[in-house]
């Protein structure tokens, strides 16, 4: 039974039993405390904890999930995968334990001919929470399971909570017996490899508080509405139904594994280490494909870092299998073909997905090449200094700064005959993880518990009137001070105010929040920010500038008209620039993020190379021609499927409901899903002036533009600057470029003459410096700070001139100077000095360490530098002392 068929049978079964079928949410989680949708229940948290009223009493879905906390286990077990799909059925105050158990048992054990999954009842075991007699009794009643196949576990295994105060409850897990080939008999309590968990039924019936750990908390009482949250692992059911040993060999994953085998030429199933690598590749390529399809792009932080790590682990595994050439074009294509029947977007959006994937592989292959060079140098320096162990800090630098894998560092070091201070590396890694964890916790704390908004959201959605009105009368629904609900805010306080209706736009879709005020009898509130803390609810952060405001008070939200007008211009300009980019570069130049505020817009798009000046001009011209043509701007609210069929573009990472707002500028020329505010016709934008274009990653570019009056003021300032230059240089405007080029050439010529003069003066010092040589051990040493020089090259010239004068002696020259306000050191050695053990690279590095910088180089000549020029005498002394142990 194919994976997609299992999923469809699941959905069909629950739809027949009155459940609303809900599409999978994005892998990018709405919850700011987590990066990804890590479990099937994540999209339903607002309904489960009562923050948002559920739109249906019961539902079922197939949810895409990413979980990387067990990434090191991927490939080693039958069930660990970073991307997985969770089949779930949900009840929000509707059916409870008896319904959940009945549905699960019927679907699992009904014959395939009747639409079930066809499991043999004799192969199924269950676990229940140790005190949940009700669940145990229901399993006997509904499924006829004997006591021996119902095992009781403690809270560590069979009690669910979010880890925070709120809803919780016991759970019951269903296990499949894979048979004696896979381990000992006796149920999941004896062997959870033979007995594989396939379904978890969570009975959310209690409210808990004072959560101290997973197993330590206080039960407040029963929830007024009890919920059901279930999750069945699609991959686990698939590998059982398909008769294979693990999830990596199922129909959606195995094609990638087979392609990797073909590329490497090594068989699967022959060598354990190779098999693990093949499974890692198969899993990580699929996970990367799915993350890219949901708009995540490779980067060095957050979600992008996780994606980059998955992709680079795949590249690394292929390298260990003997393949150094690019493999992503074949591996990603194999994954696309395996997944497109379940997720058509991976095929429809292949041009964009493949662009990011292939560029990332190309970048990392270059990283491996450059990292190998850096590592080779570190190894050489370690051995030259008489060491046998590469410092943990060096290995960590390669990993953290260059993305060079530690296992590759270990391999190369071993080949060179030295070890790596793995304990030192691991210590630095732990410190980094601790910092990241602390940062995540602080962010989680800073984003207060959204359950505080539950009572307000339960009264209905905030009505946004700002598309048509800039003032709206309403009333105060809620007030929070320091995150705590209160009935009044007084003059001078910062508070959150929730209204039933508002004309003020809440930040979303790249558009910043409106400016404005909220006024009522005896009070005035300056609006500092407008946000949506939970879906459907708008909260205004305000400063009470006059009077007091209380619950239920009349309130009129007033939008700053000038700011809104400029914000509308900027948002509509963003759409025009997007359309112009696609006209110029093609359909793969898709949006990767945006920001627009009054007078300014920023637009990120998928593209891997800088735009030429001609291309920038063309994009700017197309966008401004659209303004000149005074295109009509229309908005429509329609079903999401209809909007997509009409070709509307969606912003990756944005969440869309079943109905969406579609904005057209000039009909289909610019057609996007957008909840922002816009002008009525394109001429209202006035003017777009592109001011910059830059890189924001290996495959992303960014354009920034000024809009409307801000664009006009910028161009007026440039015109004034041109006029001033023209007057000062006594050249007409059309001759300015030639005149400035002429002045530049004259300046360069003058600089060359000055540099030649200064170099000559420095060279004249060579005899004096050579004559100052002193003896240290077997060496004749020249050590001096010679003041300021034009560049490090000038200092190098002097050092080499001194060395030439001492060429027949075992001479060492260490000179220091200040170049451009920074200290620089040059070390040089003669052939006889090198024979006696002097190494210029070691001396330069020693001196640079005193200066607070770095250095190194060849044995004959090397350079170092730092930040503190006052330490030059100490640096030179340190280098001379290093000779004593050479």
Residues at the binding site for Zn(2+) are 571, 575, 674, 678
d(C-alpha 236, C-alpha 463), whole Å: 44
d(C-alpha 858, C-alpha 361), whole Å: 33
Contact 478, 459 (CB under 8 A): no
Task: Give me the numbers of helices (H) and strands (E) for the chain, helices first please.
Answer: 26, 35
What is the CB neighbour count within 10 angstroms for residue 186?
A: 13
704: part of which helix (H) or strand (E)? strand 700-707
- Bridge partner residues of 235 (DSSP): none
797-808 CB burial, b ≥16 within 10 A, e <16? bbbebbbebbee
Angle at 11 between CA 460 and CA 52, to 5 degrees: 15
Residue 156 exposure: Cα atoms within 13 Å on the Cβ side: 1
**Six-digit token pair at 331?**
């591996």
Nearest Cα to Cα of residue 880 among 783, 803, 793: 783
Nearest Cα to Cα of residue 860 among 879, 877, 841, 884: 841
d(C-alpha 96, C-alpha 91), whole Å: 7
Annotated binding site, which residues?
Answer: 571, 575, 674, 678
Task: Give, in order, the Cα–Cα distances in Å from 168 to each of 56, 90, 149, 157, 209.
Answer: 21, 15, 25, 13, 10
Using DSSP's 3-state secondary structure scheme, residue 730 falls into coil
Using DSSP's 3-state secondary structure scheme, residue 131 falls into coil
| Dihedral-angle region of residue 600 (phi above 0 means left; psi in -120 to 50 means alpha; beta otherwise) | beta
Contact 420, 390 (CB under 8 A): yes
Which residues have CB under 8 Å from 224's CB, separation 6+? Answer: none
Question: What's CA 199's distance to the chain center, in Å?
Answer: 31
Residue 608 phi/psi, 5° resolution? -105, 5
Task: Give, in order, the Cα–Cα distances in Å from 61 to each of 12, 52, 230, 234.
Answer: 10, 19, 10, 11
**Six-digit token pair at 488?**
């009044």
């Amino acid at each position: 039974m194919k994976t997609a068929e299992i999923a469809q049978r699941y959905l069909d079964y629950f739809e027949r039993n009155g459940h609303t079928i809900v599409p999978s949410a994005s892998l990018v989680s709405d919850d700011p405390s987590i990066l990804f949708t890590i479990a099937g229940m994540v999209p339903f948290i607002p309904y489960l904890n009562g923050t948002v009223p559920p739109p249906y009493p019961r539902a079922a879905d197939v949810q895409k999930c990413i979980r990387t906390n067990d990434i090191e286990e991927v490939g080693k077990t039958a069930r660990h995968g970073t991307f997985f799909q969770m089949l779930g059925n949900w009840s929000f105050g509707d059916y409870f334990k008896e319904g959940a158990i009945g549905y699960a048992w019927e679907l699992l054990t009904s014959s395939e001919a009747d639409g079930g999954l066809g499991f043999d009842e004799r192969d199924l075991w269950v676990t229940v929470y140790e005190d949940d007699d009700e669940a145990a009794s229901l399993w006997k009643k509904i499924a006829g399971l004997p006591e021996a196949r119902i095992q009781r576990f403690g809270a560590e295994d069979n009690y669910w909570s979010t880890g925070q105060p709120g809803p919780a409850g016991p759970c019951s897990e269903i296990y499949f017996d894979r048979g004696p080939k896979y381990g000992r008999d006796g149920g999941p309590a004896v062997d959870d490899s033979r007995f594989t968990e396939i379904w978890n039924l969570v009975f959310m019936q209690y409210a808990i508080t004072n959560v101290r750990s997973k197993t330590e908390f206080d039960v407040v009482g029963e929830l007024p509405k009890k919920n059901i949250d279930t999750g069945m692992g699609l991959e686990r059911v698939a590998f059982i139904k398909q008769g294979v040993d693990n999830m990596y060999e199922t129909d959606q994953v195995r094609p990638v594994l087979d392609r990797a085998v073909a590329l490497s030429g090594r068989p699967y199933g022959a060598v354990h280490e190779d098999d693990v690598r093949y499974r890692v590749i198969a899993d990580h390529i699929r996970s990367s494909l799915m993350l890219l399809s949901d708009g995540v792009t490779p980067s060095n932080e957050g979600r992008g870092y996780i994606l980059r790590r998955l992709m680079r682990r795949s590249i690394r595994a292929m390298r260990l299998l003997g393949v150094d050439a690019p493999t992503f074009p074949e591996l990603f294509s194999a994954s696309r073909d395996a997944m497109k029947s379940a997720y058509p977007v991976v095929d429809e959006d292949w041009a964009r997905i493949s662009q990011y994937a292939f560029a990332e592989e190309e970048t990392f292959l270059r990283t491996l090449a450059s990292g190998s060079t850096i590592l080779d140098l570190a190894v050489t320096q370690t051995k030259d200094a008489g060491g046998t162990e590469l410092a943990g800090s060096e290995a960590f630098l390669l990993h953290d700064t260059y993305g060079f894998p530690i296992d590759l560092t270990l391999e190369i070091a071993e080949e060179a005959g030295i070890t790596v201070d793995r304990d030192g590396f691991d210590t630095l890694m732990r410190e980094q993880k601790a910092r990241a964890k602390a940062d995540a916790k602080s962010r989680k704390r800073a984003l207060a518990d959204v359950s505080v908004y539950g009572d307000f959201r339960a009264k209905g959605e905030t009505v946004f009137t700002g598309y048509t009105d800039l003032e709206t009368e309403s009333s105060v629904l809620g007030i929070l001070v320091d995150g705590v609900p209160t009935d009044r805010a007084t003059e001078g306080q910062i508070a959150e105010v929730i209204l039933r209706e508002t004309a003020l736009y809440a930040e979303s879709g790249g558009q910043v929040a409106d400016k404005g005020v909220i006024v009522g009898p005896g009070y005035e509130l300056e609006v500092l920010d407008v946000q949506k803390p939970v879906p459907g609810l708008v909260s205004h952060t305000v400063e009470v500038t006059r009077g007091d405001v209380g619950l239920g008070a009349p309130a009129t939200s007033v939008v700053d008209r000038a700011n809104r007008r400029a914000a509308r211009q900027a948002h509509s300009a963003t759409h025009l620039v997007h359309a112009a980019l696609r006209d110029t570069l093609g359909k793969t130049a898709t949006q990767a993020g945006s920001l627009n505020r009054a007078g300014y817009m920023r637009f990120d798009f998928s593209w891997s190379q800088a735009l030429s000046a001609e291309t920038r001009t063309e994009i700017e011209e197309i966008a401004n021609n659209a303004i000149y043509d005074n295109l009509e701007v229309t908005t429509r609210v329609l079903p999401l499927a209809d909007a997509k069929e009409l070709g509307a573009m969606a912003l990756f990472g944005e969440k869309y409901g079943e109905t969406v707002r579609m904005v057209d500028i000039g009909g289909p020329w610019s057609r996007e899903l957008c909840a922002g505010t816009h002008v009525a016709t394109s001429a209202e934008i006035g003017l777009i002036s592109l001011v910059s274009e830059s890189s924001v990653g290996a495959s992303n570019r960014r354009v920034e533009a000024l809009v409307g009056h801000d664009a006009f003021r910028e161009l007026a300032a440039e015109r004034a600057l041109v006029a001033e230059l023209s007057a000062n240089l006594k050249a007409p405007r059309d001759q300015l470029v030639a005149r400035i080029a002429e002045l530049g050439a004259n300046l360069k010529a003058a600089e060359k003459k000055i540099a030649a003069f200064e170099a000559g003066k420095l060279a004249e010092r060579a005899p004096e410096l050579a004559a100052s040589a002193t003896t240290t051990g077997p060496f004749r040493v020249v050590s001096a700070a010679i003041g300021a020089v034009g560049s490090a090259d000038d200092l190098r010239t002097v050092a080499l001139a001194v060395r030439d004068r001492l060429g027949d002696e075992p001479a060492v020259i260490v000179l220091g100077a200040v170049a451009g306000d920074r200290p620089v050191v040059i070390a040089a050695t003669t052939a006889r000095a090198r024979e006696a053990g002097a190494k210029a690279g070691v001396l330069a590095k020693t001196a640079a360490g005193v200066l607070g910088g770095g250095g190194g180089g060849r044995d004959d000549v090397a350079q170092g530098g730092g930040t503190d020029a006052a330490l030059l005498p100490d640096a030179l002394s340190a280098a001379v002392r290093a000779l004593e142990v050479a």
